[in-house]
Chain A
Amino acid sequence: MFDTALTLADLGFLAKGAAMTLAVTAVSVLAGTVLGVLFGVIRNQVGPYWSMPLTFLLDIFRSVPLLIQLVLGNAMQSIMKLGWAPFTTSCVVLSLYTAAYCTEIVRGGISSVPATTRRAARSLGMTWWQDMRYIVAPLATRVSLPAWIGLTLGVMKDSALVLWLGLIELLRASQILVTRLQEPLFILLICGAIYFIISFPIARLGGYLERRWSND
């Protein structure tokens, strides 16, 4: 085909980087979504006034660039002598960052459920929890899914910034190879392709669920 110094071992190195990207993304999206649902429900439940402190905190996570959050987070854990590994610090910061966006998505999803529908559920004797579980959750999920998929894909790409804490994820692994082999275009092409291969199923899953739910 054409000449390249890239070996199978180098590809394995890239794959390991991709695994790190996946791990950081999976942990952060999972934890961030759990927190986001929790915060979103709280914000919806207590109203704008009482959730002001929470809203303010989450606004910080949404407005300060992620790189700064990572560096500050790392400095903070070191000052507080928490002794966190870079992976832990990365996941904690990215989780909070994800949670901040996810909270907005969840809040929007919940408020998209008409008050009259929820009133009908409660009128049937359902508790607050049953209304949440059987009526609000499924309806809000349908509304929120596209935004949540977008958030997940975004976090996966943003997770490249954890390389600043010394984690060798996909982008950092590519950089190392570029420096060593001096074949930037070819290696970045492969790197981009791997990002695409990871993202594609997530995007398709969203499309699939949307179609499945479109009949009702």
Chain B
Amino acid sequence: MIEIENVRKSFGQLEVLKGINLTVEKGEVLTIIGGSGSGKSTLLTCINGLETIDSGRIVVDGTDVHAKGTDLNKLRRKLGIVFQQFNAFPHLTVLENVMLAPVKVLGQSKAEAEAMAVKQLTHVGLGDKLKVYPSRMSGGQQQRMAIARALAMSPAYMLFDEVTSALDPQLVGEVLDTLRMLASEGMTMICVTHEMKFAREVSDRVAFFHKGVMAEIAPPEALFGAPKDADLKTFLAATH
């Protein structure tokens, strides 16, 4: 369970998160929508401790992320995250990309890590790209590799930050399909996305962020069918 309690965060003068309260249960798929600059990415990076918070609390399975004694490297093993940019390690093959952290961080044997990597890469449809270098792959393939790389750590939660935003339109589908597959397998996920149709399909709940505030949160039928927040209405009208 991820518990976010009254989290505030500023960059200099700019308050980016203005008291966020949110709980994500095990097995839940939460999508976050909202305009650019509304604080969505910042929230995700606060959850895995890449960013600090100014006040409030984020607790993952009982561990306070921003408490002094917290071993963030250990915590991050259970929080997979995939970003908008393709973050392949360009000097490693696809297989090596996926094996690196399990071997170095989890201390798995090469054989163990390779078996897991092959399994995850096959799962995301890259079973035939093991020896290829990332630069030889399309953006969609690189994003699927990044997903497999995160999954190889056997995380309890997956965070996705606009993973299709940097893709050519014809490549968006294959990555969304991978996310749908994970959702259907029961993975606990927080997906920041601009794909409204996708959000409507996979989400248990959808949260709308506006200027650092979580203005509305509801199951997709309610949020898209009968939005209450005025800014959400404007936002939805603008997207379609």
Contact = CB atoms under 8 A, between A and B. Distances in A.
Interface of A: 114, 116-117, 119-127, 130, 134-135, 138-139, 142, 213, 215-216
Contacts of B135: 216
Given A139-B90, A213-B91, A216-B90, A126 B133 contact: no
Contact of A122 (B50, B146, B153): B50
11 contacts: A119-B50, A119-B83, A120-B146, A123-B81, A124-B76, A126-B104, A126-B105, A127-B73, A134-B89, A134-B100, A139-B90
Interface in B185-205: none
B79 to A, nearest CB: 8
B87 A117 contact: yes
A125 B133 contact: no
Contacts of A130: 104-105
Describe A's contact surface by its main secondary structure. helix
Contacts of B73: 122, 125-127
B105 A117 contact: no
Contacts of A142: 91
A120 B159 CA distance: 12
Contact of A116 (B74, B87, B106, B150): B87
A124 B91 contact: no
A110 to B, nearest CB: 15
Interface string B128-154: 000001110000000000100110010
Given A116-B85, A117-B87, A119-B50, A125 B77 contact: yes
Given A116-B85, A216-B133, A123 B50 contact: yes
Interface residues of B, number: 29
Nearest to A121: B89
B83 A120 contact: yes
Contacts of B93: 216
Contact of B76 (A117, A122, A138, A215): A122
A156 to B, nearest CB: 29
B146 A125 contact: no
B31 interface: no
Contacts, number: 66
B87 A125 contact: no
A123 B76 contact: yes
Contacts of A127: 73
Interface string B70-113: 00011011011101010101111100000011001110000000
B167 to A, nearest CB: 16
Contact of B105 (A114, A116, A125, A138): A125
Contacts of A120: 83, 87, 89, 146
B133 A124 contact: no
A215 B93 CA distance: 10
Contacts of A125: 73-74, 76-77, 101, 105-106, 153
B88 to A, nearest CB: 8
B238 to A, nearest CB: 28
A122 B50 CA distance: 8
A135 B50 CA distance: 18
B164 interface: no
Contact of A124 (B74, B85, B90, B149): B149
A135 B73 CA distance: 16
B42 interface: no
Report, nearest first, the 8 A-B pairs whose CB atoms are least far apart: A120-B87, A124-B101, A216-B133, A125-B76, A125-B105, A125-B77, A116-B85, A123-B81
Given A124-B150, A213-B91, 13 more contacts: A116-B85, A119-B50, A122-B50, A123-B50, A124-B76, A125-B101, A126-B104, A126-B105, A130-B104, A130-B105, A134-B89, A138-B91, A216-B135
A213 B135 CA distance: 12
Contact of A117 (B77, B89, B100, B149): B89
